[in-house]
Amino acid sequence: MVPAVVSPALAIVLLVAANAVTAGLMLLVRRRAPEGSYFHDTTQASGVFTVAGTAYAVLLAFVFLLAFQSYNSARSAAEAEATATASLYHDADAFQAPIAARLHGEVVCYARSVIYQEWPAMADGHASPVTELWLPPRSNDRHRAAPHGQAGQRRLQLDRPRPRADRRAPRPSCRRRGR
């Protein structure tokens, strides 16, 4: 995701200032206009208004296009991360019961930290330090506890390369000890 270059408050101030300058210029031109108007025949003015209106419509269309593209990319990223988290949760079923239960808990803790801490932090333009603690590689638990059965081995595929969203692997507990 591309970070916001301009804060929303500054953007609003700039828009209000641009509108004020435009309205001021319009009033200035109108005050200096000759008696009756510059145009005695309104068909002459219609060409100017058509060009200005079309330019405004095209500009507005690009703004909407960029806004929806940004929304769609954020939605796609959230969907990919949710899919990866669900996949990790289901992959934990390949382990024996005590280890699977622990991994299920870790994935749930990670998902909660993303929902309740990472997303609000992202809305403010930064990352959550709590969720960032989950990003380092997983401990060596996967090497000590192998999935049981041939089906578990096939399902888990521990050695496949995973995208970044999958590497956001859960830690042993929701609260970090020693920090």
Q: Where are the domains of the chain?
A: 81-167
- Reading the chain (179 residues) residue by residue, the pLDDT tens digits are 445 567 788 888 999 999 999 999 999 988 888 887 776 777 777 888 889 999 999 999 999 998 888 888 888 988 998 898 899 888 888 888 888 898 888 888 888 888 898 888 888 888 888 877 766 455 555 555 555 565 555 555 544 445 544 445 444 455 543 43
The reported pLDDT for the residue numbered 123 is 82
If 0-12 CB within 10 Å is exposed, 13-18 middle and 19+ buried, where does residue 130 land? middle
**Can you give the pTM of this predicted structure?**
0.48
The reported pLDDT for the residue numbered 16 is 94
The reported pLDDT for the residue numbered 40 is 72
| Pair 141, 99: CB distance under 8 Å | yes
The reported pLDDT for the residue numbered 159 is 42
The reported pLDDT for the residue numbered 174 is 58
In the DSSP assignment, the letter for residue 2 is: P
Question: Rounded CA gap, 97 and 94, in Å?
Answer: 9
The reported pLDDT for the residue numbered 18 is 95
